[in-house]
Structure 1
Amino acid sequence: MTDLELRPIDLTEFPAFHRTLAEVFGETVRDSERERMAGVFEPERSLAVFDAGEIVATAGACTRDLTVPGGPRPVAGVTAVAVQPTHRRRGLLTELMRRQLTDLRERELEPVAALWASEGGIYRRFGYGLAARQLTWQARGARIRLRPDAPVGPGRVTLVPPERARPHEMAVYDALSPATVGFLTRPGRWWDRRFADPEDQRGGATPRRHALHTEPDGTVTGYATYRTKQSWATSWSEGAQGTVQVEDVHATTPAAYAALWTFLAGIDLHPRMTRALGPLEDPLTQLLADPRALAAEVFDSLWVRLVDVGRALAARTYRVPVDVVLDVRDEFCPWNAGTWRLSGDASGATCERTSDPAGLTVSATDLGAVYLGGPTLTQVAAAGRVGGPAATVSAVGLAFSGEDAPWCPEIF
């Protein structure tokens, strides 16, 4: 970092910040994307490395709430992390991460940070654990047929323009968010970003479509957003080969969820369907008549970092009562290292420093991995990353576990 300057940017420097980010990610610098990002950008939470006045590395954080076991809690949404190829292997990323986490701790901001990684092998060395995964799949629409006993209701699906869809989509999402571990709250500016639909970012597909599921009394109980992309086979016998690109499917009732998928699978002239960022334990897999209909892949999604172990572990609730002393290992954020007594249950928790002997030894990275209740502590221990008696691992792991796999449907 000799002769380099690391500091937040001001708004006049945002175009250069965005240009560096776009170049590192191999994207064309577009005014539409810069404007979309500017709507949620927080310059006071940004970091940039300057070399002779030019931005060569970036990082940022957004102020959000993340639903954890127990409800929504403040989280630093780490984003816009990039290093120019001219400055690789010089420790810039490490310095950005260290400065960001140190600032969070010293300013007593969010005790937890979370991010989506551009590459899966980057962030564990900075103490981030893989806390949630996503299901991405493709299918022939004709195979997306629901079981005969799938729930059916009196509601109907209608297509509406974005401006009419927005308040209803917000209401459905807000109803689901507080109880769905992994969901992020969406302030108005984040909904603005969600509804932005510049043509140069559609990849040749249509504008975003909005489908609402409405009950006879007018209550909207679900919505789907999607695009279509048409292609035609060279043979007349094969005809249209269009694809339905599913983005969001959210519903507050099982019947609405089933109806939305039935609608999406039945769009004429589009026999293919894709879905990214889906839940790992998607109810759709239980609704399908043919469980092999989805050609699915599982990828990482949300990575979680406990910035302040004591505050972070005290911020969530626990499935069953737990009282354990943890010997936490944390080389990157050494203020977390040492022994902590965690006591909690479904109503709340405390986590304080203690001199009592430890029952388990675990890294901050792996505490981040189990923080949302996704991977279990038993699974982490099976990989050789937890020290302690098997019975203690099992009991503490049950306390950390969740009823459903965490799901974050939004890249930030």
Structure 2
Amino acid sequence: MSDYALRTATAEDVDAFSRVIRDAFAMPGAPDPTDSIRTVIELPRYLVIEHSGQVVASAGAFTRDLAVPGGVLPAAHVTAVSVAATHTRKGLLRRMMTHQLGDVPEAIAVLWASEGRIYQRFGYGLAAQSVAYHADRREVSLRVPAAAGTLRAASPADVVEELAEVYDRVLPGRPGWSSRNAAWWAHLTRDPEQHRDGYTAKRAVLFEHPSGTVDGYARYKVRSKWNDNGPEHEINVLEVVAATPAAYAELWRFLLRIDLSRTVVLGLGSVEEPLFHMVDEPRHLGGKVGDGLWLRIVDLPRALTSRKYAAPVDVVLEVTDALLPQNAGVWRLRVGAGGALVHCTRADDAAPDVTLDVADLGAAYLGGTRLGTLALNGRVTEHRPGAVAAVSTAFGWSVAPVSIEIF
């Protein structure tokens, strides 16, 4: 493999690795130098592999925070992992992923997987599922009474500061959500016409409490459709962010009542989306569950002591990690009253209560995958009766994790 050189990307590589990414994901057209994704690319965190003077593979990461149970934690947001079709099956992806994991300064890394089988090989666990809702809005109505407040329509780019204020207020309580700085907001609200794919421009609606405080917003777009019997427009909901139940309900009431529409789609919903419990016919929300955010623990003691827990626990974990040997071994996790005062220390002379792989810890980290469930399929082994139930309860959380943005 000496003719394949792994190195950090430079500004001169952007078009080249963009072309590799577009080809790998079958994206039409050539790299666009005006694409706003370029404004958030961090070249020092991008790897490329060069062969005969050509970039043939890439892997990158964004520096962002991630909401975890009880707080917000820096997390490497892995992205743009691609290998040119003419250079696959040569170990290039493994080389990049292994190098990247060894170089990540954060305690955890997260990604969206094109195929889950790829990243489980590198210790990533399925930490949050995602539900695509495809609602027949004529069959669905809210059961909750209308709340006092006002709805205000706007172009998202014109109200970024208000959107960001609401988002930042809600973020700490929503495991799986990622932080957004000004550059990310500019990228997410940019809306060139050539990228609309038959939809209208992106729209926003804000919910204002009678006090004047903006307590929530929805970003959405509309696709016009007609048949022989009349209109059947589709409302594509990009996200609903609400600081109060009233704001959440009124935003959904609005989205489900837009004239001429027949279908309301939310592509990145939670497995416990509150809407499911607010409508009269939840079956007609048409939810389809899939995988969402995958998480990799990079620094085990730092990761486990950086979140809160749902219950006290004192457990000895035997952890395997084929790629990062510093995580492997026996660890004692002690969590005090209130789920805080967390200690995680090596305990190599102690008998383990539970044996599991680092990917299983990653799956449980956001509180969305129960270790008890993983024990049912043999991925987690219990040595002390009751240990799995205790640690599974401790790792749980009151809100199901979800990622509402593919990066």
User: How does the TM-score come out when normalised to structure 2?
Assistant: 0.96
Q: Is the 2:157–2:186 Cα contact (8 Å) retained in structure 1?
A: no
Kindly tell me: are residues 31 and 24 of structure 1, through their superposed partners in 2, closer, same or farther at Cα, counting changes over 3 Å?
closer
Name 2:15's counterpart in structure 1: 15
Equivalents in 2 of 1:335, 1:200: separation in Å? 48
Name 1:96's counterpart in structure 2: 96
What is the letter of the counterpart of residue 131 of structure 2?
A: L
Q: Deviations over 1:104-136 (max 9, x none)?
A: 2xxxx1010100001122111100000001110
**Secondary structure of residue in 1 paired with 2:280:** coil
Name 1:73's counterpart in structure 2: 73
Deviation at 1:19, TM superposition (A): 1.4
Greater shift, 169-178 or 215-224, is seen at 215-224
**Secondary structure of residue in 1 paired with 2:97:** helix
Deviation at 1:31, TM superposition (A): 5.2
Kindly tell me: are residues 164 and 196 of structure 1, through their superposed partners in 2, closer, same or farther at Cα, counting changes over 3 Å?
closer
Q: Deviations over 1:203-227 (max 9, x none)?
A: 1111101111112232111111111
Name 1:373's counterpart in structure 2: 367
Deviation at 1:332, TM superposition (A): 2.1
Name 1:397's counterpart in structure 2: 392
Name 1:214's counterpart in structure 2: 208
Q: Deviations over 1:247-299 (max 9, x none)?
A: 11111121221111111111111112211011111110111011212111011
Deviation at 1:313, TM superposition (A): 1.1
Greater shift, 307-316 or 60-69, is seen at 307-316
What is the letter of the counterpart of residue 393 of structure 1?
A: V
**Secondary structure of residue in 1 paired with 2:305:** helix
Matched, 1:325 2:316: yes
Question: Which of 147, 157, 181 in structure 2 is aligned with 1:153?
Answer: 147
Deviation at 1:61, TM superposition (A): 0.8
Question: Which of 122, 135, 138 in structure 2 is aligned with 1:142?
Answer: 138
Q: Deviations over 1:127-167 (max 9, x none)?
A: 000000111021222122111xx042211212112343211
Equivalents in 1 of 2:157, 2:123: separation in Å? 41
Q: Deviations over 1:3-29 (max 9, x none)?
A: 100011111211111111111110124
Kindly tell me: are residues 386 and 18 of structure 1, through their superposed partners in 2, closer, same or farther at Cα, counting changes over 3 Å?
same
What is the letter of the counterpart of residue 333 of structure 1?
A: L
Greater shift, 310-319 or 122-131, is seen at 310-319
* Count of residues paired in the alignment: 403
What is the letter of the counterpart of residue 47 of structure 2?
A: L
Equivalents in 2 of 1:23, 1:34: separation in Å? 18
Equivalents in 1 of 2:20, 2:341: separation in Å? 43
Name 1:309's counterpart in structure 2: 300
Q: Deviations over 1:18-56 (max 9, x none)?
A: 111111110124555763111111100110111111111
Q: Is the 2:156–2:189 Cα contact (8 Å) retained in structure 1?
A: yes
Equivalents in 2 of 1:102, 1:28: separation in Å? 34
Q: Could you tell me which runs of 5 or more consecutive residues in structure 2 were left unpaired when the two chains were aligned.
A: none
Matched, 1:50 2:50: yes
Matched, 1:298 2:289: yes
Equivalents in 2 of 1:221, 1:33: separation in Å? 37
Matches within 5 A, 1:175-254: 175-233=169-227, 235=228, 238-254=229-245
Q: Is the 2:315–2:334 Cα contact (8 Å) retained in structure 1?
A: yes
Equivalents in 2 of 1:324, 1:292: separation in Å? 41
Name 2:85's counterpart in structure 1: 85
What is the letter of the counterpart of residue 126 of structure 2?
A: L
**Secondary structure of residue in 2 paired with 1:86:** helix
Q: Is the 1:114–1:303 Cα contact (8 Å) retained in structure 2?
A: yes
| Cα RMSD after superposing both structures | 1.4
**Secondary structure of residue in 2 paired with 1:405:** coil
